[in-house]
Structure 1
Amino acid sequence: MLCKSLTETKINIIDSIMGSGKTSWAIQYMNEALVYQKFIYITPFKTEVERVLSSVNLNFKQPEANNAGETKLEDIKRLIADGENIVSTHSLFKRVDSEVIDLLEMENYILILDEVMDVIEQVKISKDDLKMLIQNKVIEVDKKGIVSWEQVNYQQGYFEKIRNLANSGNLMMYQDQANEPIAIYWTFPVETFKFFEEVFILTYMFNGQIQRAYFDLFGLNYNYKSVISKNEEFKLSSYIPFREENRSHLKNLINIYYSSPRDKIDINKIGKKHSSLSVSDLMKKTRNTETKKLMRNSAYNFYRHKCNVPTEEVMWTTFQEFKDKVTPSGLKDHFVSVNARATNEYQHKSTCIYLANRYTNPVIKNFFSKHDVEVEVDLFALSELLQWLFRSRIRTDQPINVYIPSIRMRTLLEQYLDNEI
């Protein structure tokens, strides 16, 4: 870890299964808030912004760009300075800068973060360029991996983005055992969490998320809570570890497709290897016309012949870069992003096709490992799969049909339903 403790802000991880009422609790909590309490509510989707605006009796404002040239980032600064209750998206919140942080330090806001964020992202730059910047003492890297910009006379050019990130203190480098540079990363400014009165993060299986590793990396303390409900009233309770959940109802609702000896074609064989349908595997498979056709046909066979459902009831996914190459016939308009979460838009879907095998970026995993922070790769994959599946009608306790040809992802789901994970 980089430090023992950065902040005394109370960070609460509201870790409960999708559909348990986390957002409903948050809306109730804000509606029951004392007059002096102020909130910033951050959610992945604009539809959820609208839900907060229409459901909370506080006068929430969302940052807007205007015709005078003021950006959303500038508007959120004005709203914070005015002490307004604010609702916005992850994409805007990720752009917070030192001025936003300074404003938060002077205010007493409560942050409600609906689902984890992308708090670390690799910056595109070659290893050779990194070596050149280090050798020419343009940048320096301290023992913690934090990158600083040393070339004060550099005004503009190819490395402006690197300079700006380094000057903001949000740039870290991963080096191998020989201190050779491998990659550099933008990290969300961790100080942001320091200046909230209290933080609530609404999620599930936080231990498998990159944001948990990020919190551990920077030494942030956090505690777990669960949500329970009775008669449409929601409250926080002591944490119920997800491994102790009763999942029998889910096992009855999730109908996983398995091949039969009578099948002429085993549509699960496209995912028979442990690494099948991962990004690297799909890079190879999608270069070949026949393998692309086989994947498309397998998915079509599942929803049209095995399930016999209309396309309107189907949701499917793969990694964005392969979407156009493996879109099953009839499903062009029924793609749901592989990292979808925190939306009810697809809760009418009865049939789910998952053409993916999720892994954490190995370089990011090794970056955390170098700082003695472990990323639980299988738990990450499972949590991402569950988030995606729970966009469907299972969130309303209705049965779903699921096609997961990846043997690794299918096995993780089986183990979860059997309470083995």
Structure 2
Amino acid sequence: MREVKGFNMTQTINVVDAMCGAGKTSWAIQHINENIGQNRKLAFGDSGEPMKYIYVTPFLNEVERIRQATDIDFFEPEVKGTKIKSFKALITLGKSVATTHELFKKLDLDILDAIEEKGYTLIMDEVASVLEQYDISKSDIKLLIDNGTIEIGENDKVIWLDDDYKGKFSDMKILAESDNLILQNGIAMFWTMNTRAFEAFDEVYVLTYMFDGQTQCKYYEANDIKFKKYSVEKSGDHYELIDYDPTIEPRKETYEKLNIYVDDESNKKKSPLNSNYDSREKLTNQQRSSQLSSTWFRKTATPRDLKQLNNNLRNYFRQVQPTENEYIFWTTISDFAPTLKNPKCKWNKSNDRTSDNFVALNARATNSYGNCTSMAYVYNRFINPMERNFFREYGIEVDQDKLAVSDLIQFLFRGCIRNDEPMNCYIPAERMRSLLKDWSEFKI
């Protein structure tokens, strides 16, 4: 894909691929505490310097959890000035740092060079956002090229030429100067995480589940970054990594605790809550499999369909599985949450998620909804076509089914199923319910 000077082709990323609740974070905390006082492991022998860590997690409250649970001093970048400057100062001092994914995305090449020089181990709780489409029109791209503001270099890399530029694309200038902005086929621009963000570390551990179905896996494959997967095994109070073995996962037991609302097969008729949100009388198999996808919401769904979905959500939590609002969590495409919200499924127009029970589709690694006994996942997950085409340029094909079920399971485990308790599930997309069942039978 793209080569970066200094890339260590022999480095292997350690992917700890285990179900939620298997002990990934507990293993990481144990690993840190057991290695206190140990020196860095280098090819030419120990350097005499103690091991240092950068722990990356999606949420600030998880940062605090890691600081409290480990026996070394983890520092969090301060808000004074900018957090990125604080982060750089901590690295310069050789401190261990606990931070969020959002800040990790902003590390520039100078900071990554300092990380490599000091010698750090990276522990990344949940996968990173390694690929994002940059919102810019084809005409604006042409204008920037014609004005000599940018040029497209080797491997379609965007090179910024105007050092004195100040304007609406100043954020794009920062991305380009960080050597990680790509123009695909002259029409779509992507930010990709610089591979140095993984290469600069002595060791890297990624804690996640169903890694093969996620974008970060395809990013590694496209960049020829080697990785090895491990499972977590608990013996008494001790956690250890073993060779990856999905058969040890309690998939069947977990699935049996999910009370999934399904069609009434005994009467050989479709349940109104799962089928009547599409107002067309006859559907092809392709149309049926794409119901509730992003394309369906934006191009196919009628006002009548969306009203029916709204009614279905309300009826499910009022009549099918009566649940108090504080024990509900639900999701859909964020653009349509205001349309589907109702007295049971709350959505705060001020974007204050603490005032409602809506959870973002990509929510991971949060325990805030562990008391919730009922959920709704009103979405049918497919990869963005632009992202799919991006990977295809490098001969990489994304498994849409693995991607979909991976995201669904991550969402399910925000609720009480993470505590091994039964949970009510409204998943109206037939494809998503089928994929979940296939997962439980180890078919995915």
Q: Give the alignment's TM-score, normalised by structure 1.
A: 0.91
Match of 1:182 in 2: 187
Report deviation, 1:406: 0.7
- Residue type of the alignment partner of 2:36: L
Match of 2:210 in 1: 205
Matched, 1:320 2:338: no
Match of 1:266 in 2: 272
Report deviation, 1:128: 1.9
* 8 Å contact from structure 2 (residues 263, 270) kept in 1: no
* 8 Å contact from structure 2 (residues 19, 249) kept in 1: no
- Residue type of the alignment partner of 1:305: Q
* 8 Å contact from structure 1 (residues 257, 403) kept in 2: yes
Match of 1:171 in 2: 181
* 8 Å contact from structure 2 (residues 262, 271) kept in 1: no
1:381–1:262: structure 2 CA closer, same or farther, 3 Å change rule? closer
Q: How many residues align?
A: 410
C-alpha separation in 2, matches of 1:283 and 1:243:
39
1:313–1:153: structure 2 CA closer, same or farther, 3 Å change rule? closer
**CA deviations over 1:188-237 (Å, ceiling 9, x no partner):** 12112111110000001111111111112222111111111121211111
- Residue type of the alignment partner of 2:26: S
**CA deviations over 1:42-100 (Å, ceiling 9, x no partner):** 0001121111111111111100112xxx2111001111111111101111111111221
Report % sequence identity.
Answer: 38
Matched, 1:193 2:203: no
1:134–1:297: structure 2 CA closer, same or farther, 3 Å change rule? same
* 8 Å contact from structure 1 (residues 9, 195) kept in 2: no
Match of 2:292 in 1: 277
C-alpha separation in 2, matches of 1:264 and 1:204:
33
1:281–1:243: structure 2 CA closer, same or farther, 3 Å change rule? farther
C-alpha separation in 1, matches of 2:339 and 2:200:
46
**CA deviations over 1:123-178 (Å, ceiling 9, x no partner):** 111112223444565433345222223x3465323443333322221111111xxx
Match of 1:61 in 2: 75
Match of 1:37 in 2: 51
* 8 Å contact from structure 1 (residues 171, 186) kept in 2: yes
* 8 Å contact from structure 1 (residues 9, 193) kept in 2: no
- Residue type of the alignment partner of 2:208: T
Matched, 1:371 2:394: yes
After TM superposition, list the pairs within 5 Å mapping 1:245-260 onto structure 2: 245-260=249-264
C-alpha separation in 2, matches of 1:302 and 1:55:
40
Matched, 1:219 2:233: no
Match of 2:11 in 1: 9
1:324–1:152: structure 2 CA closer, same or farther, 3 Å change rule? closer
C-alpha separation in 2, matches of 1:252 and 1:380:
22
Higher normalized contact order (CA 8 Å, seq sep 6+, divided by chain length): 1
Q: SS where residue 142 of structure 2 aligns?
A: helix
C-alpha separation in 2, matches of 1:344 and 1:350:
13
Matched, 1:361 2:365: no
1:251–1:157: structure 2 CA closer, same or farther, 3 Å change rule? closer
- Residue type of the alignment partner of 1:18: C
- Residue type of the alignment partner of 2:175: L
